[in-house]
Amino acid sequence: MSEWKNLQEILNNSCDLNKNRQALIDLENSFTYQQIKDHAENLSNTLKKHNIEADEPIGIIVSNQGWDIINYLAIWNLKGVVVPIHENQSSRSIKSIIQQTDMRIVIKSKLGLWPEGILNEYKKYSNTLCILEEVYPPERELLKGAALVVFTSGSTGIAKGVVLSHLAFASKLKTINHAIPFDKTTTTLLVLQLTFSFGIWVSLLTLARGGLLIMGKKFSPDTINNLILKYSINTVAAVPTMLRAYLNFLDSYDGEKQLKKLREQNLPQLLITGGECLSSTVGKSLRSLLTHCGIADVYGLTETATSDFILLPNEYDNFSGSIGKPSCPTINYQIINDSGSEISDYGVGELIINSPFIMNGYLNQPELTKNSFLEDYFCTGDLARRVKGSDKIEIVGRKKELIYKGGNKISPLEIENIFNEHPGIVCSLVTSVPDEIMGEKIHIFIIAKNKAELIVEDLKIWAKEKIDKYKYPDQYHFISSLPLGSTEKVSRSILKEFLIESNNDKG
User: What are the beta bridge partners of residue 336?
Assistant: 342, 350
Spatial separation of the C-alpha atoms in residues 205 and 210, rounded to whole Å: 9
Domain boundaries, the chain: 30-164, 219-398, 402-506
Spatial separation of the C-alpha atoms in residues 166 and 359, rounded to whole Å: 10
Per residue of the chain (507 residues), what is the pLDDT tens digit?
A: 567 999 999 999 999 999 999 999 998 999 999 999 999 999 999 999 999 999 999 999 999 999 999 999 999 999 999 999 999 887 888 888 999 999 999 999 888 889 888 877 887 878 899 999 889 999 999 999 999 999 987 544 567 999 999 999 999 999 999 999 999 999 999 999 899 999 999 999 999 999 999 999 888 899 899 999 999 999 999 988 789 889 989 988 888 999 999 999 999 999 999 987 888 988 999 999 999 999 999 999 999 999 999 999 999 999 999 999 999 999 999 999 989 999 989 999 999 999 999 999 999 999 999 999 999 999 999 999 999 999 999 998 878 877 878 767 788 888 888 898 898 998 888 988 887 777 788 999 998 887 778 999 999 999 887 887 888 999 999 988 777 665 566 667 777 777 777 766 555
Tell me, rounded to whole angstroms, the distance of Cα 6 from its chain centroid.
22
4 phi and psi angles, rounded to 5 deg: -105, 110
- Strands of 247-324, DSSP E: 270-273, 294-299, 309-311
The helix-helix angle for 240-250 and 256-265 (nearest 10°) equals 110
Q: CA-CA distances (angstroms) from residue 460 to 426, 439, 442, 475? A: 17, 22, 14, 11
What is the enclosing helix (H) or strand (E) of 76? helix 66-77
- Hey, is 495 helix, strand or coil? helix
CATH of domain 402-506: 3.30.300.30
> Structure pTM?
0.84
What is the enclosing helix (H) or strand (E) of 373? strand 373-374
Q: Are 219-398 and 402-506 equal in CATH topology?
A: no
Give helix then strand counts, H and E, for the chain: 16, 26
- The total of other beta-carbon atoms located within 10 Å of residue 368's CB is 15
Class of CATH domain 219-398? alpha beta
Class of CATH domain 30-164? alpha beta
What is the enclosing helix (H) or strand (E) of 59? strand 57-62
